[in-house]
Amino acid sequence: MADVVVKPTVRLSGEVSAPPSKSYTQRIVIAAALSHGVSKVSKPLYSEDTEATLRAVTALGAKVKAARDCWAIQGAESLRASKEPIDCGESGATLRFMVPIAALADGTSKLTFQGSIARRPVEPLIESLKDLGAEAYVGKLGARDTVIVSGGGIEGGKTSIPGDVSSQFISGLMFACPLAKTETVIKLSSPLESVDYVKMTQAVLSQHAVEVALGGEKIVIPGNQIYKATDACVPGDFSSAAFLMAAAAITQSNVIVTNLDYETVQGDKAILTVLKRMGVEGRVCRDSVQIEGHGKPLKPIELDARHVPDLVPIIAVLGCYANGTSKITGARRLRLKESDRLVSITEELGKMGAQVAINEDGLTINGASLHGTNVNPHNDHRIAMAAAVAALGAKGETTIKHAECIRKSYPQFFTHLKQIGADVVGGKLDR
């Protein structure tokens, strides 16, 4: 158990490199594992979630040679079920991506999940697989929730699935159904949210010569396709960089975040628009973003978060430092993340003196002075990082309890905060 103390910091400065994208790393690894031949993945993210993805693909037959800055992945010529349970850790994306892929394997696979499947549901995905000729169900392996998947292949055909519970359902089917026996047509029974994550999956598949057609209300995936091995470099992550940018905005600082390519498919690039609307000055360069402090208070914002749910914790923090009332809507799905993030944000920022009101769909935040306290991140990496950023402008010290949860997506977070001048005690949690 690691506790980290964050002290008020008057000014940040300097340059820091954004970590590689977790979402891209996971998708590139899976596509490589399904390809014929060897693919090289440069600059991958090392985190608990990406390690879970590596465990899963190797369990089904891929071979991985991992050096620090490059993973060489030999695709599985034919997927085979693992004799041992496949440990997906606490990675909801790994679980949801791999359940359809396990249906392609020869034999029965058991995918275990650390945490509650009630919080990270898979039932809509399982129902769609049944429509497409594959069988899976949720059970228990000891105390752990487990998805048992009967292998043997996916027939293809037609199915429907909600688009407003998790885009990861759709991405999981997009990975597996190109290897189905016939064409697959997925009809969305509700509007698709986090659409850019689905487009990210499509972009990665395209690099491996796999075709998927995205329409307004349906997705068409030809069957009997072949994944082609290719080399890829993982881009920097705007989701993680958002915390660094917000830290600069709150402390009215000049900070440059490098390793950010605005041309990549990442919905969380929206943090740049959010900061601009709140009055933050900056520049977007070819491979970096510069935040320029100017001494003016932040403006409040109204945000529909349907397509950028991962930004909600840090935007709530920015709202605490704004001069007025900010409103976040379209955030219902945050109740099904690592924690109920709407509740976690309200409780933990409330301990710091924030005025946050919760409703079924989002949050209302009134700007207020914050003070240090003990924060419980609810084993949620984004809550821990958001609270740490909030602490930079608070009065007195803040202790982030059980801060090791950041290893899920951004193990170097506290190290990077220190690098640009934050007063942080502890926090060397990268491996």
Query: In a 10 Å sphere around its CB, with 0-12 CB exposed, 13-18 middle and 19+ buried, how is residue 327 labelled?
Result: middle
CA 14: distance to chain centroid? 26
Question: Residue 167: its pLDDT value, please?
Answer: 95
**Could you write out the DSSP letters of every residue in 182-197?**
S-EEEEESS--SSHHH
| 329: amino acid identity, one letter | T
pTM of structure: 0.96
Return residue ranges of the chain for CATH 3.65.10.10.
Answer: 4-19+236-425, 22-233
Provide the β-strand partners of residue 186.
Answer: 159, 219
Q: Count CA within 13 A, CB hemisphere, residue 359.
A: 9
Number of H helices, E strands in the chain: 12, 24
CA 221: distance to chain centroid? 24
Q: Which residues of the chain fall below pLDDT 50?
A: none
Residue 310: active-site member: yes
Closest alpha carbon to 60 in 33, 40, 38, 35? 33
CATH architecture of 4-19+236-425: Alpha-beta prism (3.65)
Contact 68, 43 (CB under 8 A): no
List pLDDT tens digits, range 361-374: 999 999 999 999 99
Catalytic residue among 49, 87, 310, 380: 310
Question: Residue 65: its pLDDT value, please?
Answer: 96
Question: Residue 431: its pLDDT value, please?
Answer: 53
Question: Residue 319: its pLDDT value, please?
Answer: 98
Superfamily of domain 22-233: Enolpyruvate transferase domain (3.65.10.10)
Residues 6 or more apart whose Cβ sits within 8 Å of residue 411: 46, 47, 429, 430, 431
Contact 27, 201 (CB under 8 A): yes
